[in-house]
Amino acid sequence: MGKFVTFEGGEGSGKSTLIENLKEYFEKHNIDYISTREPGGLKLCEDIRSILKYSTQKIGDRAELLLFSASRAQLVDEVILPNLNAGKVVLCDRFFDSTRVYQGYANGIDDKEVMDVTNFATNGLVPDITFYLDIDPEVAFERKGGRDVGDRIEERDLKYHKMVREGYLRLAKNEARIVKLDATKTPAEVLNQVIEILRKENIIE
Ligand code: TMP
C-alpha cells in the first residue's frame, strides 16, 4: 500500500505552489507518485468542479455537500485507491477536511452529518498525513491579488473565510495526522519543512 498525502488551506494559502515544488522534488529523486486534486482530477470531477465553482444556479447547502462528495467518491474509486494499491505516493490538493471546514464548520452542517456522507463517499479512506497551510484570509487574498470573479465559494465574505480558518485550526488541534504549517513563510521554507516531515514519517526516503 502506498501513502496518501493531502494538502489543505484557504484560498491563496500557497497549496498549489507547494505541490508543484514537491512534484519537482519527487521527479528529481525518482519517487513513484501521482498528483491529483479535489474537486477534479477526472473529466467527470472537473465537470462537477465547474458547477461548484461557477454555476449561476442556486445550489443549496446539502446539495453542495453532496456534489463535493460525489466528485470524491469517483476520484477515490478511479484514481486514489488504484494508485495506493500500486504502492505509489498519492498527493491530493484538498480532501474531506475541506468539506468538514467549508460545508461543515463555515456553512453550518453538523460535523457528524458531514462525516457520515464522507465515509460513504470514501469507503472510510483517511489520509496518512495532511499538511494544512495556515494563513489569515485577509493576508492571503491580498497576496493573491483579490478574489476570482464569479467563483461561488471564493466570493463568500471575509467572515466565511475566517470561519474556514477557524475550522481548520480546530481540526489541526484535534487530529494527529494534520500538520499545521505557517503559510507566510517562503515557498522554499515550506517545501523543506514538508520534505523533512515526509522523511521522518517514512513516507519518502
Ligand atoms: P481550489 O482547490 O482551487 O482552492 O478550489 C476548490 C474550491 O472548493 C475552494 O474554494 C474550496 C472549495 N471546496 C469546498 O468547499 N469543499 C470541498 O470539499 C473541497 C474539496 C473544496
Q: In angstroms, what is the span from residue 16 Cα to ligand 1's centroid?
A: 12
**pLDDT reported for residue 132:** 98
pLDDT tens-digit series, residues 85-134: 999 999 999 999 999 999 999 999 999 999 999 999 999 999 999 999 99
Atom of ligand 1 nearest to the CA of 151: 10
Q: Which three cell numbers stand for residue 79?
A: 484514481
Give the ligand 1 atom nearest the CA of 71. 20
Instruction: Kindly report the pTM of this predicted structure.
Output: 0.98
Q: Hey, what long-range contacts does 16-23 have (CB within 8 A, 24 or more apart)?
A: 16/93, 17/187, 18/131, 18/133, 18/187, 18/190, 18/191, 18/194, 19/91, 19/93, 21/187, 21/188, 21/191, 22/91, 22/191, 22/194, 22/195, 23/91
Query: Ligand 1: distance of its center to the CA of 39 in Å?
Result: 7
Smallest Cα–Cα separation from 41: which of 83, 97, 102, 101?
83
Of all protein residues, the one whose alpha carbon is nearest to atom 13 of ligand 1 is 98
Alpha-helix runs per DSSP H in the chain: 15-28, 43-54, 61-75, 81-85, 96-99, 111-122, 137-144, 158-174, 187-200
Q: Work out which ligand 1 atom sits closest to the CA atom of 95.
A: 20
Q: Which residue has the cell 505552489?
A: 17
Residue nearest to atom 4 of ligand 1 (CA): 11
pLDDT for 14 equals 97
Ligand 1 site: residues with CB under 6 angstroms? 11, 38-39, 68, 93-94, 98-99, 102-103, 153-154
Sheet holding 129-134, edge to edge: 33-37, 89-93, 3-9, 129-134, 178-182
CA distance 119 to 68: 13
CA of 49 to the centre of ligand 1 (A): 8
Tell me: cis bond preceding 187? Omega within 30 of 0 counts: no
- Reading the block at residue 17, the C-alpha cell is 505552489
Strand partners, 156: none
pLDDT < 70 regions, the chain: none
Residue nearest to atom 19 of ligand 1 (CA): 98
C-alpha 93 to ligand 1 mean position (Å): 9
* Distance in Å, CA 176 to ligand 1 centroid: 22
